[in-house]
Structure 1
Amino acid sequence: MSDTVTPFEIHIDDTVIADLHRRLDHTRWPERETVADWSQGAPLAYVQELCRTWRHDYDWRARERRLNRFAQFTTEFDGLTIHFIHQRSPHPKAQPLLITHGWPGSIVEFHKVIEPLVEPVAHGGRAEDAFHVVCPALPGYGFSGKPTGTGWGVEKIAQIWDRLMLRLGYAQYFAQGGDWGSAVTTVIGQQNLGHCRAIHVNMPIVAPDPATLDAPTPLEQRALAAMQHYADHDSGYSKQQSTRPQTLGYGLTDSPAGQAAWIVEKFQAWMDCDGHPENAIGREELLDNIMLYWGTASAASSARLYWESFNSLPRSTVELPTGISLYPKEIFLASRRWAQRQYPQLIHWNELERGGHFAALEQPVVFVDELRSCFRSLR
């Protein structure tokens, strides 16, 4: 196995762009929904509007250049290529920080926060808060390789991420994540291989404490309601992806409109956006993220992480120092006393006023401040 780290630049071939345009021009549309909201899924009018922009106004080459301002590399683990951003700080006491995205996100989620984390003085912070940022693409996502066999669940990914940090020369590091990134980061803490010093998550995956259910706090009442809403109205995607990702992949890999709708529906549902995704982030950002799925044909390979791990997440406690930032529109909420059972070494807990599932995209300034505050006492 080669431990070579190779420089990389994002590039989607012209033939893929031309094919995308052809498919968008010949989309076979369904009839419109029979409701006036998103309760049946992404509305026809909005998906058509998004796809018109994608076809006629969206400049992927310009967006590609923006993403390529970050130093990027690939390296191989167990026969699989991993793509990652590795942005080093100029500050001599910067600490290594591993940040991991989830589904339906990508490394695009962090494009607003990498520079403030790396160069805090240029973004209203202090030199002593600087990080060297490592941001890998999950296996099967974006420009990382697609596993050809089973076994690439969160436990293996956590081990690979630890090996990645060691390969980059970081014997000690901090780790952060949301969504699948939260699961991977939590498992890094559970495995506690001796290199990760502390973790931070913005989606704590914890079960309610039965001892509290007779007198839940207002936050716990909201958390229970959110869990019920997810089970009743919002979890169909996870059932499909965790049971039949291959079947789903045929449609999403063939239809850019289908891929866009599948992703944007979740951005609308999970962001703090007052009902419309573009109230929280820009349309180009939505399309940047969609392009990392479409341009790499990774609908099926990304969904397979659900098949691997969705119903088998490890439940052991994390003995590493842990920070949690709770954004009000997150899919799953938890109270501090619930979280303390899973993460007994809580060093940072904050309940934010705004923001949702894609915290680094929606509230980048707050997100950066949360990480600085969480890890400051451990420097």
Structure 2
Amino acid sequence: MVEQFRIHIADEVLDDLRARLLHTRWPDQIPGIGWTQGTELDWLQRLVSYWTHEFDWRIWEQRLNTLDHFTWEGIHFVYKRAASGRGIPIILTHGWPGTFLDYVDMLPMLDDFDVVVPSLPGYGFSPRPPQVGINYRYVAERWHRLMSKLGYSSFGASGYDFGAGVTTILALDHPESVTGIYLTTLESDLTPIVDDADLSDGERSYLSVNRSWDATERGYSAIQSTKPQTIGYGLNDSPAGLAAYMGEKWHSWSDATPPDDFLCATLTLYWITQTITSSMRDYWDNRFYPVDRSYVNTPTAFGVFAHQTVSEGEPPRSYLERVYNIHHWTVFPRGGHFAPVEEPVAVAEDMTTFFRNLR
């Protein structure tokens, strides 16, 4: 049953958060080292000070409650109908360490669409089922059922990071329903499997850069795909620790780090719902319950942004054409891994162009 949902967090939860921030125990840092060993101390102290003394969750809560929120079988989602009353239906899926907030600024720019923005299981207001195997395919099936419940027999889909993985499997498993997909990142678990001898020089160069990035930057993925519970205790107990862990990703993977107010809203949403540990289980479930890789015949669009740090450098179109039926390819001079947050106008306009042309 689809039920309306309204956000309201108790005062004592927010008071406890502020008290913990005020009593942060700070580690030392080697002078002049910057971000070399992880989140820079000065940057984090400034962000935590803003979170403690200037950020106002109630303003965000009021803004978010102007949107139409619903829940269905444990899934929270925002639902915005097109200005005309019946638009192109589309479901937008965030990644990690994001939330449904990633698409809030884009919503007014998508007037041609009936937009559904769910929270992934284990993120924000969507609890994660107490079981293993909540992988791309599990979520994709839920999304298909949700769109059917809302009355859409055919629809488009878009996403980044884990959202790109869910979107890909949604198209693969339900080609009769998914009219097209728009991706702003390639999900690393779904990259082509290609013999080295069959790669072009450009593809080899791209993969070499990715391997170098993996060697120095993918420690988070190693622990989250093996022992998410262990790291979860500290992150669930210390808001400053949570800010350090998530803030490093936003800083490193963005072309321009989003504003402090947005970062603190995202951090607060993870904190008040206690979902950092459950969100990290995405890595474990998709590692130990992998999905089959197959060619996606559904018309596919890629928005390629300049600083897609998790797949550093511009992926060659030929490489992705080994997996996707690419109809639309746009390279942007700015933006990074969190493109819907960093460049919402560019994403909204390119997405609109793609789906209009499909019609």
TM-score normalised per structure 2: 0.94
Pick one of 257, 260, 272 that aligns with 1:295: 272
Pick one of 147, 170, 175 that aligns with 1:165: 147
Tell me what 1:190 maps to: 172
Per the alignment, do residues 84 and 93 of structure 1 end up closer, same or farther by CA in structure 2, a change over 3 Å counting?
Answer: closer
Correspondence 1:48 to 2:45: yes
Instruction: Name the CA distance, whole Å, in 1 between partners of 2:292 and 2:31.
Output: 41
Tell me what 1:122 maps to: none
Does structure 2 retain, via aligned residues, the 8 Å contact 1:187–1:314? no
Pick one of 219, 243, 254 that aligns with 1:236: 219
Correspondence 1:88 to 2:71: no
Within a 5 Å distance, the mapping from 1:205-220 to structure 2 comes to 205=187, 206-207=191-192, 209-210=194-195, 215-217=200-202, 220=203
Correspondence 1:364 to 2:340: no
Shift in Å at residue 39 of structure 1?
Answer: 1.7
- Give a deviation string over 1:127-147, Cα, whole Å, max 9, x none: xxx001000000000000122
Instruction: Name the CA distance, whole Å, in 2 between partners of 1:253 and 1:211.
Output: 42
Instruction: Name the CA distance, whole Å, in 2 between partners of 1:200 and 1:133.
Output: 14
Tell me the matched-pair count.
352
Tell me what 1:283 maps to: 260
- AA aligned opposite 2:105: K
Instruction: Name the CA distance, whole Å, in 1 between partners of 2:205 and 2:33.
Output: 26
- Give a deviation string over 1:60-80, Cα, whole Å, max 9, x none: 10011122221110010xxxx
Pick one of 63, 66, 79 that aligns with 2:63: 66
Instruction: Name the CA distance, whole Å, in 2 between partners of 1:13 and 1:54.
Output: 18
Per the alignment, do residues 34 and 313 of structure 1 end up closer, same or farther by CA in structure 2, a change over 3 Å counting?
Answer: farther
Correspondence 1:21 to 2:18: yes
Does structure 2 retain, via aligned residues, the 8 Å contact 1:33–1:43? no
Instruction: Name the CA distance, whole Å, in 1 between partners of 2:45 and 2:196.
Output: 49
Per the alignment, do residues 313 and 216 of structure 1 end up closer, same or farther by CA in structure 2, a change over 3 Å counting?
Answer: farther
Correspondence 1:349 to 2:349: no
Instruction: Name the CA distance, whole Å, in 2 between partners of 1:214 and 1:237.
Output: 29
Shift in Å at residue 226 of structure 1?
Answer: 3.6
Correspondence 1:309 to 2:286: yes
Instruction: Name the CA distance, whole Å, in 1 between partners of 2:32 and 2:285.
Output: 35
Pick one of 19, 26, 31 that aligns with 2:28: 31
Structure 1: runs of 5 or more not aligned: 120-129
Tell me what 2:157 maps to: 175
Shift in Å at residue 318 of structure 1?
Answer: 0.7
Shift in Å at residue 319 of structure 1?
Answer: 1.3
Shift in Å at residue 90 of structure 1?
Answer: 2.3
Tell me what 1:126 maps to: none
Shift in Å at residue 294 of structure 1?
Answer: 0.7
Shift in Å at residue 224 of structure 1?
Answer: 2.5
Shift in Å at residue 115 of structure 1?
Answer: 1.1
Does structure 1 retain, via aligned residues, the 8 Å contact 2:123–2:279? yes
Tell me what 2:103 maps to: 110
Does structure 2 retain, via aligned residues, the 8 Å contact 1:33–1:44? no
Correspondence 1:334 to 2:331: no
Which stretch of the first structure deviates more once superposed, 20-29 or 200-209?
200-209
Does structure 1 retain, via aligned residues, the 8 Å contact 2:133–2:286? no
Instruction: Name the CA distance, whole Å, in 1 between partners of 2:129 and 2:31.
Output: 40
Q: Secondary structure at the match of 1:185?
A: helix
Instruction: Name the CA distance, whole Å, in 2 between partners of 1:365 and 1:99.
Output: 15
Does structure 1 retain, via aligned residues, the 8 Å contact 2:86–2:114? no
Per the alignment, do residues 267 and 89 of structure 1 end up closer, same or farther by CA in structure 2, a change over 3 Å counting?
Answer: same
Instruction: Name the CA distance, whole Å, in 2 between partners of 1:174 and 1:215.
Output: 32
Instruction: Name the CA distance, whole Å, in 2 between partners of 1:64 and 1:313.
Output: 37
Does structure 1 retain, via aligned residues, the 8 Å contact 2:139–2:166? yes
Shift in Å at residue 313 of structure 1?
Answer: 4.4
User: Sequence identity of aligned pairs in percent?
Assistant: 38
Does structure 1 retain, via aligned residues, the 8 Å contact 2:192–2:322? no
Instruction: Name the CA distance, whole Å, in 2 between partners of 1:230 and 1:90.
Output: 43
Q: Which runs of 4+ in 1 moved over 3 A?
A: 207-215
Per the alignment, do residues 215 and 164 of structure 1 end up closer, same or farther by CA in structure 2, a change over 3 Å counting?
Answer: closer
Does structure 1 retain, via aligned residues, the 8 Å contact 2:48–2:240? yes
Correspondence 1:264 to 2:247: yes
Within a 5 Å distance, the mapping from 1:2-13 to structure 2 comes to 4-13=1-10
